[in-house]
Amino acid sequence: MSSTRPTSRIAGTGHYAPEKVLTNHDLERMVDTSDEWIAERTGIRQRHLAAEGETTSDMAAHAARAAIAAAGIAPTDLDLIIVATVTPDVPLPSTAVFVQQKIGARPDCPAFDIAAACAGFIYGMSIADRFLTTGGARHVLVIGVELLSRVIDWSDRTTCVLFGDGAGAAVLTRSEDERGLLSTHLFADGAQAQALHIPAGGSALPASLATVEAGLHTVHMTGQDVFKYAVRALSSASVTALEANGISKEDVRWVIPHQANLRILEAVSKRIGVGIERFVLNIARYGNTSSASIPIALDEALRAGTIESGDLVLMCALGAGFAWGSALLRI
């Protein structure tokens, strides 16, 4: 059965994880922590770290090339490049313009970054969907990429054990069959901005010797506040996605959540009534890669054949801001 309403279908995905792996046992030698504590409290066993000199756009370009190849298009077929990141190559210009150059997209292909932290990939897909379904674009590249290891205080055990580097990408293509994005729902609550932030380096507190000495260029977080808010917000955004489409939780084949903490996801699973065995989980191997976590998990599951054509997939993510959202799509 074909529908006349255009949709945004995932035509190809790719991901990239840097070669270097830092295990929990490696961290035991760096801060006062243990493999047992990290694994029990977060589900994380190891994370990948970018090599010296490797940049956010380098990682994004690797993932993008794989997604473009999987989609069976040429880089010059892209009509728009969206890079979701809070760890750009430089403050100015966008990381997306470096990606445009590195992958050989058209020299006039529009390209921009969005900053929605761990929710970045869902925000990016939502924006892409608008361009695709209103006719402005045929192929949009959405990348979630983070190089968090450069903005982590490696002496702070409460944050350094959580994060990793990586990139995931998807080519979204305008389609007229029943597959594709059914909806995206986006939310933000700026009252929570201090719960997870990098205090300095912007207009509020420009970089200075004092800000560097005070350690204000790294991630600061109130972990338990983030935890509690995440469980509530991820659950309610997921339910909103299902209700908006008149779809019952039994019809969801897979949930691809942002991978921040296994315990957060177990709590969300209970709240929304979708068993954890239907969650695509790779947090043990990557840690929290922020905006990259959903597209990495999506790409791995597609390539492994875990997610198949026709499957109904629910995505949900929350990150700094707080910014959060959900997406429902038929693969």
Residues of the shown chain interacting with ligand ACO in the complex, contacts defined by CB under 6 A: 33, 37-38, 41-42, 118, 157-158, 161-162, 196, 221, 223-224, 226-227, 230, 258, 260-261, 288, 318-319
Q: CB nearer to ligand ACO: give 105 or 231.
A: 231
Shortest Å distance, C-beta 230 to ligand ACO: 4
CB burial of 2-13 (b: ≥16 within 10 Å; e: otherwise) equals eeeebbbbbbbb
Q: Rounded to the nearest whole angstrom, what is the least distance from the CB of residue 152 to ligand ACO in the complex? A: 11
Phi-psi region of 153 (alpha: psi -120 to 50; beta: other; left: phi over 0): beta
Longest dimension (CA), the chain: 63
CA distance 163 to 227: 15
Q: In this structure, what token pair is assigned to residue 323?
A: 């910014």
For residue 46 the two structure tokens come to 């190891």
Based on CB atoms, which residue is closest to ligand ACO, 18 or 164? Answer: 164
288 is catalytic: yes
Is residue 208 helix, strand or coil? coil
Answer for the pair 191, 139: CB distance below 8 angstroms, yes or no.
no
220 counts as catalytic: no
**Cα–Cα distance list, 14 to 178, 183, 289 (Å):** 23, 22, 15
- Choice between 69 and 198, CB closer to ligand ACO: 198
Element (H, E) at 285: helix 283-286
The beta strands (E) that lie in the chain are given as 7-16, 20-23, 46-49, 80-84, 111-114, 139-147, 165-175, 180-188, 196-197, 220-221, 254-257, 312-319, 323-330
Single-letter amino acid code for the residue at 101: Q
Among residues 41 and 303, whose Cβ is nearest to ligand ACO? 41
**Minimum distance from CB of 162 to ligand ACO (Å)?**
6
* Cβ 322 to ligand ACO shortest distance, Å: 8
Q: How far is the CB of 204 from ligand ACO (least distance, A)?
A: 20
Q: Tell me the C-alpha distance between 153 and 103, whole Å.
A: 32
Q: How far is the CB of 224 from ligand ACO (least distance, A)?
A: 5
- Comparing CB distances to ligand ACO, the nearer of 226 and 329 is 226
Residue 243: how many other CB atoms lie within 10 Å? 10
Which residue among the candidates 24, 261, 282, 288 is catalytic per the annotation? 288
Closer residue to ligand ACO in complex, CB, 96/162: 162
Catalytically annotated residue among 62, 109, 118, 139? 118
Least Å from the CB of residue 9 to ligand ACO: 27
Q: Are 305 and 65 in contact, with CB atoms under 8 Å apart?
A: no
Residue in 48, 160, 258, 261 annotated catalytic: 258
Q: Which residue has the tokens 């955004």?
A: 237
Q: Which residues are catalytic?
A: 118, 258, 288
